[in-house]
């Protein structure tokens, strides 16, 4: 017996992302989340640098 997993909604995994630079990996996650390709919700972005461009990417994404 198999279970049809396509009919069950997937609850997004709530994640926080650690960044310190340009945020290119963060942008990949944002793009995939917005496209519905990854069932995630980015709930926080943590940086050790105030001037990291990743912080700007996070703010722009909302």
For the chain, percent of residues with pLDDT exceeding 90:
81
pLDDT in tens, 43-54: 999 999 999 999
**Nearest 5°: phi and psi at 36?**
80, 10
A 10 A CB-CB count for 6 gives 6
pTM of the model: 0.81
CA atoms within 13 A on the CB side of 15: 15
Cβ contact 44:19 at 8 Å: no
Helix-helix angle 53-61:24-35, to 10 degrees: 10
Angle at 39 between CA 38 and CA 41, to 5 degrees: 105
For the chain, percent of residues with pLDDT exceeding 70:
89
């Amino acid at each position: 017996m198999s279970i049809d997993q396509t009919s069950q909604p997937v609850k997004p995994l709530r994640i926080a992302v650690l960044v310190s630079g340009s945020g290119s990996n963060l942008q990949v996650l944002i793009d995939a989340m917005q496209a519905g390709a990854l069932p995630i919700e980015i709930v926080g972005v943590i940086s050790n640098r105030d001037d990291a461009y990743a912080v700007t990417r996070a703010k722009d994404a909302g």
